[in-house]
Amino acid sequence: MKIALVTMNVKAGQCEENVRFMKDKIMQAREDGADLIVFPQNAVSGYLLGDTWLDDDYCRYIDSFNDDIIKESNDIAIVWGNIRYRNHRRFNAAFFAYQGMTHMRVKKNHSSPYMNDFAYFENNNINSAIEYKDDMIFALNFGNEIQLTDMNINLDARPYDIDHNLDVAGNVIYVNACGMQNNDHSIMLMEGGSCVYRNGKCLYHAPYFVEDYAIVDLDCEQEDCDKERSLLNALTMGIREFDKQVLGGRLPWVVGMSGGLDSSVTSALFVHALGKERVHGYNLATRHNSETTKSNARKEAEQLGIECREGAIEDLVAQAQETLLKEYQYNIDECPVLVKENLQARARGYLLNSFAGILGGVVINNANKVEVSLGYCTLYGDSVGAISPIADLTKVQLFDLSKELNKVFEKEVIPMGLLPNVQKNRIDWEMPPSAELKENQFDPMKWFYHDYLVEHLGNDISISKFIQSYEDGSLDETIKPWITYYGLDNPKAFIEDLQWFLSTQQRNSFKCLQLPPALCVHHKTYANRNLTQMRKDDLYIEKFKKKYELQ
C-alpha cells in the first residue's frame, strides 16, 4: 500500500490557499498511484487562530471546506485535520474519506493548556477504526497517541520545543505541519518531520522545518531516519514565515548593531534567513561604547556583507536633557543615574524606529531570554521591535547558535571574542556582556547558573523542588560546578541570590506585556500574566531561611 505523506506549511487563516495546495497534492498523489494521502492537523485553517475560533461565521466557513475535500476522494483515500462545526459546537477533528464520502471522523481530546484548546473545542474522545484496502485496519489519532491496530494515522500541529522530541513508535503514519503560527505574543514554529513507522521500524522520515511530500510504500525497506532537528533551522523557518505571512515578504529589516553578542546573532540570523539585501544595520554609539564593540559591529557587518551606518546619539541625548531643563525645568544631573541610562536606551529606540519609518521597514528586537525574564531592558528603548527572534533563548544557548551560524556562513560572522572561554568550572570573558550605558557597567547575571534558572524554574522544576534538590544534593550535574563557581554552596548566598532572582523576575514581569512577539522554542514560553505580587515564592524561601537560621 502506498501512502502520500504531506508535511504541509499550513498558513493560519488562509483557508483558500491551504485547500488549493491540498487539492494540488491530491492530484499529484493520484498520479503517483497512492492509495491514501495524509495531511496534518488543522490543515485547512491552521491551528492557532486565537479567539477567532469563537467567531461562528468563521467556523462555519472553515467547516464548509470539508465537503470540497470529500468530493476529491472518489479514487483515493484522504485523511486531513479540520474542525467539525455543527449547531455552535466546535470539535477539532480528523477525517478519513474515500469513494466520495467520510468513513471515519475522530474528535480530538485536549492536550496542552498553552494552546487554549480547552477554551475553543469540545472534548470527544471516542476511538474508532476502519478497514481500508488489503484488509488493513486504520485508526485515527492526534499527537503521539497510538491504538492497538494495524496502522495508526496520527495528525499533528506540533510546535518545536528545544528540550523535547516527540517519540513515535509502533505502527504509525505521523503527519505534522510545518511553518509558523502565533498565539498572541508566542510565535510557534511547527516542526514538520512527518514519518512512517511499521513494527517499530522507520520506513520514512521527512526533514524538519520544511515542506515535504513523499510516497511511502508500507512494504518497503527501512530507511535512514536520522534527521537533525536544528535550532538554527527552526529560527530560520520562523523568520522567513513571519516575514512573508505577516509583513508580505518585502520590507527592510532594521537592526541596532551594538557589537555585542545578541545583536550579532540576530543580524546573522536575518541575513541567513532573508539575504543581505533585506537587513540594515545601525550602530548607535555614545562615549560609553568601547572601541572594541564599535569595531566588532563594523567587522560583523563586513562579514555579513550588509551596510551598517555608524553614528553618535550624544547630540540627541544632550538635546533631550536640554529640553527637559529649558522647557520643563528638570536638571538631569540631579536625577538618579538610571534616568540618564534610560534616556540613552530610549534615544536608540527612537532612532531605530525612525530608520524603519524612513526605509518603510520594521525593527528587529535583540533581547535574549535572560534579559526579558529579569526585565533587564528599558521599555520603549531596547525593547522595541516587530519580532524578537532570540527572546526564548538564554545567553548560554546563544553560544552554540553562534558557532552554528559561523559554520553555515563559513566565516566568523559572530566574533569569537564575544563568546566566553568556558572551562569545566569557570568562565572567562574577553568582553563580558554589558549594556554600556555607563562606565564599567557589566550585566548582573550569573551566567550559566541564572540561564539554568530562567530555563527551568517555575516550568519543569518548581521552586520547592529546586530548593529541595539543593538541600539533598540531587541538583542537575550540569549546574553543580556553577553553584560552586559563584560561591552559592553557602546556603546564605544561595538563598539570597534566589530571592534576588525571583523578586527581580516578579517586579519586572509587567514589562513582558509590552514586548514584541517572540519566536518560541518551548511549548510554554509567554505565560498569561498576573500583575499583582504573588507571595508564593517567599513561602519556600522563608522556610529555608528558618531551617538554616538565616533570618
Residues in 389-428 that interact with a copy of itself by CB under 8 A: none
Positions 289 through 318 that interact with a copy of itself (CB under 8 A): 309, 311-313, 315-316
Q: Residue 22: is it exposed, middle or buried by C-beta count within 10 angstroms (0-12/13-18/19+)? A: buried
Q: Which stretch binds a copy of itself (CB under 8 A): 66-74, 95-103, 197-205, 516-524?
A: 516-524
Closest CA to 4 of 177, 314, 214, 211: 214
**In terms of CB distance, is 75 or 315 closer to a copy of itself?**
315
Using the rule CB under 8 A, is 351 a contact of a copy of itself?
Answer: yes
Measure CA 175 to chain center: 21
**In terms of CB distance, is 150 or 538 closer to a copy of itself?**
538
Positions 141 through 160 that interact with a copy of itself (CB under 8 A): none
* DSSP label of 224: -
Largest CA distance in the chain: 87
**In terms of CB distance, is 360 or 473 closer to a copy of itself?**
360
Query: Which residue from 355, 376, 399, 448 is in contact with a copy of itself, where contact means CB under 8 A?
Result: 355
> Phi/psi zone of residue 270: left (φ > 0), alpha (ψ -120 to 50 degrees), beta?
alpha
**In terms of CB distance, is 84 or 90 closer to a copy of itself?**
90
Buried-exposed string 499-512: b where 16+ CB fall within 10 A, e elsewhere: bebbebbbebbebb
What single-letter amino acid sits at 151?
M
Q: Which residue has the cell 484496502?
A: 133
What single-letter amino acid sits at 30?
R
Positions 203 through 232 that interact with a copy of itself (CB under 8 A): none
Residues in the chain: 551
Binding mask 17-56 for a copy of itself (x = CB under 8 A): -----------------------------x-xxxxx-xxx
Contact between 47 and 157 (Cβ < 8 Å)? yes
**In terms of CB distance, is 75 or 322 closer to a copy of itself?**
322
Provide the minimum distance between the beta carbon of 528 and a copy of itself in the complex, in angstroms, as a whole number. 4
Using the rule CB under 8 A, is 379 a contact of a copy of itself?
Answer: yes
> E strand or H helix at 116, and its extent?
none
Q: Which stretch binds a copy of itself (CB under 8 A): 231-239, 426-434, 447-455, 507-515?
A: 507-515
Using the rule CB under 8 A, is 442 a contact of a copy of itself?
Answer: no
**In terms of CB distance, is 168 or 515 closer to a copy of itself?**
515
Positions 98 through 117 that interact with a copy of itself (CB under 8 A): 113, 116
Using the rule CB under 8 A, is 384 a contact of a copy of itself?
Answer: yes
Provide the minimum distance between the beta carbon of 170 and a copy of itself in the complex, in angstroms, as a whole number. 28
**In terms of CB distance, is 282 or 449 closer to a copy of itself?**
282
Query: Which residue from 21, 80, 95, 120 is in contact with a copy of itself, where contact means CB under 8 A?
Result: 120
Q: How many residues bind a copy of itself (CB under 8 A)?
A: 94
Q: Which stretch binds a copy of itself (CB under 8 A): 32-40, 97-105, 131-139, 508-516?
A: 508-516
Query: Which residue from 448, 517, 519, 521 is in contact with a copy of itself, where contact means CB under 8 A?
Result: 517
Positions 56 through 75 that interact with a copy of itself (CB under 8 A): 56-58, 61
Provide the minimum distance between the beta carbon of 384 and a copy of itself in the complex, in angstroms, as a whole number. 6
**In terms of CB distance, is 215 or 246 closer to a copy of itself?**
246
On the CB side of 67, how many CA atoms lie within 13 Å of its CA? 5
Q: Which residues, other chains included, contact 187 with Cβ-Cβ below 8 Å and sequence gap of 6+?
A: 180, 181, 238, 242, 387, 517, 518, 519, 520
Q: Distance between CA 180 and CA 437 in Å, rounded?
A: 36
Q: Distance between CA 110 and CA 112 in Å, rounded?
A: 7
Query: Which residue from 513, 543, 546, 547 is in contact with a copy of itself, where contact means CB under 8 A?
Result: 513
What single-letter amino acid sits at 473?
G
**In terms of CB distance, is 47 or 174 closer to a copy of itself?**
47
**In terms of CB distance, is 172 or 320 closer to a copy of itself?**
320
Contact between 382 and 348 (Cβ < 8 Å)? yes
Q: Which residues, other chains included, contact 295 with Cβ-Cβ below 8 Å and sequence gap of 6+?
A: 259
Query: Which residue from 489, 527, 543, 546 is in contact with a copy of itself, where contact means CB under 8 A?
Result: 527
Query: Which residue from 27, 101, 119, 416 is in contact with a copy of itself, where contact means CB under 8 A?
Result: 119
Provide the minimum distance between the beta carbon of 48 and a copy of itself in the complex, in angstroms, as a whole number. 7
Instruction: Give CA separation, 401 vs 58, 184, 231, 235, 516, in Å.
Output: 40, 26, 8, 10, 21
Positions 449 through 468 that interact with a copy of itself (CB under 8 A): 458, 462-464
Using the rule CB under 8 A, is 337 a contact of a copy of itself?
Answer: no
Provide the minimum distance between the beta carbon of 390 and a copy of itself in the complex, in angstroms, as a whole number. 18
Using the rule CB under 8 A, is 87 a contact of a copy of itself?
Answer: no
Neighbours of 544 (CB within 10 A): 20
Binding mask 257-296 for a copy of itself (x = CB under 8 A): -------------------------x--------------
Closest CA to 134 of 203, 28, 35: 35
Provide the minimum distance between the beta carbon of 514 and a copy of itself in the complex, in angstroms, as a whole number. 5
Q: Which residues, other chains included, contact 97 with Cβ-Cβ below 8 Å and sequence gap of 6+?
A: 69, 70, 73, 77, 78, 79, 103
> Phi/psi zone of residue 95: left (φ > 0), alpha (ψ -120 to 50 degrees), beta?
beta
Using the rule CB under 8 A, is 125 a contact of a copy of itself?
Answer: no
Provide the minimum distance between the beta carbon of 475 and a copy of itself in the complex, in angstroms, as a whole number. 17
Q: Residue 451: is it exposed, middle or buried by C-beta count within 10 angstroms (0-12/13-18/19+)? A: buried
Which set of grid coordinates corresponds to residue 263? Answer: 545583536
